[in-house]
Amino acid sequence: MHADSLARELAGLISDYLVGELDFGSFEQAFVGLTWNAHQLGDASLDEVVKDIEHALVQSRAHVFNETEFRRWLTDALHKLAVRT
């Protein structure tokens, strides 16, 4: 998969979560499956977005982030994806 294709799929996944089509667990599972090898694509801006989302997932699982904060991180990630493509 190319970085641009992954970015588009990731943006779609984030959008699905933000509009309520996916719950947290489904989003997390799909995200991991989609991005497990994203670092191999060599795209720095995509790597940054993936790492930001990984951070938000960990913080949410640890109850550091609430739903609102998690959604804010995803909204920021979606914006970064839109700017990069």
- CA distance readout (Å), 82 to 11, 15, 29: 8, 12, 22
Q: How open is the CA angle 43-44-50, to the nearest 5 degrees? A: 90
Q: Residue 1's pLDDT is what?
A: 74
| The model's pTM | 0.92
Q: How many other CB atoms sit within 10 Å of the CB of residue 60?
A: 18
> Any idea which residue has 């790597």 for tokens?
47
Mean pLDDT by 10 residues, the chain (85 residues): 93 98 98 95 94 97 96 97 80
d(CA 77, CA 83): 10
| pLDDT for position 55 | 97
